[in-house]
Structure formats: C-alpha cells, structure tokens
Amino acid sequence: MGRKVAIIGAGFSGLSAACYLAASGHEVHIFEKNEQVGGRARQFTTPEGFRFDMGPSWYWMPDVLEEFFADFGHTVAEFYKLTALNPQFEMVFEKNTVDVPANTAAMRALFEDIEPGAGVKFDRFMEAAKYKYEVGMKDFVTKPCHSWLEFMDLKIVKSAWKLNLLTDFRRYVRQYFTDSRLVALMEFPVIFLGAAPKDIPAMYSLMNYGGYGLGTWYPDGGFVKVAQAMAQVATRLGVQIHLHASVDRVLLEADQAVGLQINGEIIPCDYVIGSADYQHVESLLPVRYRNYTDRYWEQRTFAPSCLIYYLGFSEKIPGLRHHTLFFEHPLEEHVRHIYEDKSWPEKPLFYVCCPSKTDAHVAPGGGENVFLLMPIATGLDDAEDRREYYFEEMINRLEKHTCSSDLRDKLLYKRSYCVQDFKEDYHAYQGNAYGLANTLGQTAVWKPAIKNKRVKNLFYTGQLTVPGPGVPPAIISGKIVAQEINNINQPRHEKIV
C-alpha cells in the first residue's frame, strides 16, 4: 500500500526521489522554501532581458540524465535540446591559452603537441578512466552505504586494484604527464568534487571520462531546463510540489517522524526525506534525535563556497568561449587558501561562463550573458567591499584575455552572490556551494548516513550524503533513498504530538 512521503527541498535529489517513489505508488509531496524548483539550479531574469542560471553550468555525464528519464518512459529530447560544445572549454594560462576539443582524437593530438609522448599516455589514462567510470557509476556509487559489506560484490572486489582507491589523484596524474598545462587540464575535473587533488582518490579519474570522454553539453534555455523537466515528470506521476513552503520542524512520535510543521501548518506523513542541506534538516529535530553533533560538522572537509558575479553586457565580448578557466596561477596555491588557510586567495583562479555564445535567448539582442565564479573557503566574511575587490581582479583579467578595455562601461546588469547568500537561500552549512568534499575519509560508508539512526522513517539525500556532490550524483542519491523506502514496510502513524 502506498504511503505519504514528505520531501524537504526540490533540488535534483528531491525531484529524483519523488519520481521514483510516485512511480511505486506512494503519495509524494515536495516542500520547497524558494519560489521555484531546482535548488541551486534556479534561474532569474532581469528587466533588461537577461536570464541567469544561478548554479550548475557544466552538463557532464549525460548518460545519467538519459537513464533517469528512461526509467519513466521518456527521453531527454522530449524536454530540452542538448548542444555539444566544441571546444568544450578554454584554459587560460600565464603565457598562452589551450582550447579543449570535443573529439578525443583531437585531444590526443593536443596532448602530443604540448608534450611529446603524452598522446599515447592520454589514451591509457582515458582507457583507465572509462573503466573506473563504468564500475564506479554503475556499481560503486549506487550503494546506500550502510555497511562495507555492500562492496563485497565480486565485480567490485575483483576491480578494487584498478580503481586506485589508495592512490591520490595528484600523484596519479603526474604518473602520466609532466607539463603543468596538461596536469592542470587533467586535475580540473575533480575540482567539482570539492577537494585538493592530493586528497582525492585516483578512482575519481572517472570524472575525466564523464567530461572529456562523454563530452561537455549545454541544455538550450539553461540548466534550469533540467530541473523543470524533472519537475514535469514528477507532476505527471502525481507528485505535488509546494513552493514557498518553509519547513519549521520535523514532528516526532517516539522513534517515528509523523509530520512536518510548514509555515505554522501541520502536515501528516509516513516518511520524511531531507533533500535540503543535511545539517539544516538535522536542526529541525530535537538534539537527541540527530545523527551528528555540531562538532562533527565542524570537523568535516567541505567543498568550496563561491563568489559569483552575474553580469549583463550591452555588447558581445570578442574572443570569449562558452566556458573559460583562468589558471594563470598554480592550482595548489589557490587550493591551499581554501582547505588549509581558509582565507581569501592572494592569486585567485576563477571560471567564466558565457552561455549567450551558444544560446541567444539568455541575453537581449546584441548583449552578452556572463557569470564569474571564484571558488573560496566556506565560512568567510563576504562583505561587499571584499566581493568588489575580487570583482575588479576578475574583470581586469577578463579584459586582458579578450583584449577589451571598457567592459565596465558596457555593463547593464551586475549582481554578486556569495557565502551569506548560500546560507540564506539554501540553509547551506558555512555557506558551502557543493556539499562535502570527496576525500577518502568522506567516501561511501564514511559519508553522513542516508538514514537517521534514531528515527526509523527519516532519510537524507543530496550532495552531503552518498554518493556525493554534483548533479548526476544528486539524481542517483534520490534514486537510492527511494529504493530504501520501497524496500521496507512500516505501519502508518496518524497521531501528531
């Protein structure tokens, strides 16, 4: 018999869990505090005619999205059009720039041109990355991670040595390449995992295959189209999505969650799934029912926060790609400020996205839609003068790269977004943008548990639990928690106290 499931948060993991549970016959309600679905993947428009994606902008691992929609009898093409980016992106170094082609054969040639002999090594690296992707994304990341016994699957055990779990990513990359540009190019994808390459297992070279091997794409209309498509699937399955619905607390009876208090109203339910920030969902419970203490969260290694600027320009900016990475300074130095010093960087690296190069609808005629993103440590003081200091740093380097001298004069719209905004909009712990870092000590069973240890029918999903940060992992996380609920049978509870 179907149960009533209440999901806190309409991000990718919440939408995913809702679809799988509704398809299994449950009555599903999603409660979202903000004005639209998508979590961090929201979009806003300006009076000038710009449409800005607020969060994710890299469409990698397209097979995960295809599999999600296929599970409900749909295809991606029914909801949005994908455009393959070629070049996938550009990397700006101190003395030159490198365009990363979409074709792996062209990438091989690029590597060989930069470092003789690196073309063959690129093939070997990507072959190993493909193997890790096939095992990791099909077997490893789909586990609920209650116990290490789940990984005693014969295929995983036999594959363990090939997954390079005990080798760090920094050392692993340098076994193949020596040129600093190639090293930076191969280390870049794991930045999405939110930790220094030296602290991430080499298994995550699967990200290189998920990006470079499967390509970098753009969903026409922006990344918000992905969240909207998932919401369409959910509503067709009968899911009810409630916006402007801020959850005040989880209501308990003994060891059961029996409802939510939302904007002062009591909503009974049989199961609760926290798809919002894990630590925030825990704060909705009495202290004795929480999985983790404040000290636990203080000791975690969090992925970065970000300083973002959404910029609308009156004219096109020549010489700018859809994706551009500014890596004129060493990655290690920037990473040290994030994870060791926990301070603002002296020589920041940053990323520029210009979707109007691919999609004319995100900017008014003749205009340019740009956002600047600089990874920073969580918990920093992000006062406006500090934000502006780094805006000047980034815009100066953007002007230099594009041979422009008057970008400020062409600005029609400008908005910053940083640590405090992540806290206010998403209840993000310390203003984190990407969840927990995928370090070895925060992998699989060592991540925050997907199930509450004291409340039998309370579960967690999203970037702070398994399998980890990123849009595809969040979608997988929602599927995992839905399977957990479908695999158990608990009595209905009606009484609210």
Nearest to 377, CA basis, from 426, 304, 428:
304
Backbone angles phi, psi at 120, to 5 degrees: -65, -40
- Which residue carries 């093939």 as its tokens? 123
Q: What is the CATH number of domain 4-57+223-292+448-486?
A: 3.50.50.60
What is the three-class DSSP state of 74? coil
Q: Please give the torsion angle defined by the CA atoms of residues 112, 114, 117 and 120, in that order, rounded to the nearest 10 degrees.
A: -40
- Report whether 186 contacts 179 (CB < 8 A): no
Nearest to 438, CA basis, from 247, 211, 219, 169:
169
Q: What is the pLDDT of residues 84-96, one digit of tens each?
A: 999 999 999 999 9
What is the three-class DSSP state of 489? coil
Q: What is the pLDDT of residues 212-250, one digit of tens each?
A: 999 999 999 999 999 999 999 999 999 999 999 999 999
* Ranges of each domain in the chain: 4-57+223-292+448-486, 103-217, 302-426
Q: Which residues on adjacent β-strands are paired with residue 30?
A: 7, 241
pLDDT at 393: 98
Q: What is the pLDDT of residues 292-321, one digit of tens each?
A: 999 999 999 999 999 999 999 999 999 999
Structure tokens at 335: 């990473």
d(CA 221, CA 355): 9
Q: What is the mean pLDDT of residues 164-181?
A: 92
d(CA 37, CA 57): 16
Nearest to 200, CA basis, from 175, 156, 169:
169
Q: Which residues of 122-154 are buried (b: 16+ CB within 10 A; e: fewer)?
A: beebbebbbbbbebbbeebbbbbbeeeeeeeee
Q: Do domains 4-57+223-292+448-486 and 302-426 have the same CATH topology?
A: no
pTM of the model: 0.96
Please, what CATH class does the domain formed by 302-426 belong to?
Answer: alpha beta
Q: Which residues on adjacent β-strands are paired with residue 307?
A: 374
Q: Which amino acid is at 158?
A: K
- Which residue carries 């990507």 as its tokens? 126
